């Protein structure tokens, strides 16, 4: 029995290099953790598709099951779950996030 919500999630992460399932949108994040991830990606000049889970309750719960990760935001790069806010912030602070994105061939707007 296929899961329509999982299929929606899968097609979103297949269709976009970088996806953030977040509370709110990148221009109007509605949660500190989601805002942090959006700000970090903005700082690195990374275009990403935001999915506002507050506007889509099915996705809000479905993504937690899909990823087997209990919190929002969730960052996907090239279909792979990278982490939530803590992991993204830690990777950013150590420079790992930039290296990871470059290795995955994600375009970073301007070099810092």
Provide the binding-site residues for another protein, judged by CB under 8 A: 33, 64, 68-72, 81-87, 90-91
Question: Looking at beta carbons only, is 45 or 79 nearer to another protein?
Answer: 79
Dihedral over alpha carbons 88, 95, 77, 22 (to 10 degrees): 30
| Under 8 Å between Cβ of 112 and 52 | no
The answer to whether the CB of 54 falls within 8 A of the CB of 24 is yes
In angstroms, give the least distance from the CB of 58 to another protein.
17
* Nearer to another protein among residue 30 and residue 71 (C-beta): 71
Question: Cβ closer to another protein: 22 or 91?
Answer: 91
Residues 92 and 26: their CA atoms lie apart, in Å, by 18
Residue 82 beta carbon to another protein: minimum distance, rounded to whole angstroms = 8
């Amino acid at each position: 029995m296929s899961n329509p919500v999982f299929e929606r999630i899968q097609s979103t992460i297949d269709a976009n290099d970088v996806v953030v399932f977040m509370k709110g949108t990148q221009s109007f994040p509605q949660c500190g953790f989601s805002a942090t991830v959006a700000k970090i990606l903005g700082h690195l000049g990374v275009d990403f598709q935001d999915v506002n889970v507050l506007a889509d309750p099915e996705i809000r719960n479905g993504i937690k099951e899909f990823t087997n990760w209990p919190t929002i935001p969730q960052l996907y790069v090239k279909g792979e779950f990278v982490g939530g806010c803590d992991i993204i912030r830690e990777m950013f602070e150590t420079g790992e996030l930039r290296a990871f994105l470059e290795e995955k061939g994600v375009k970073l707007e301007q070099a810092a």
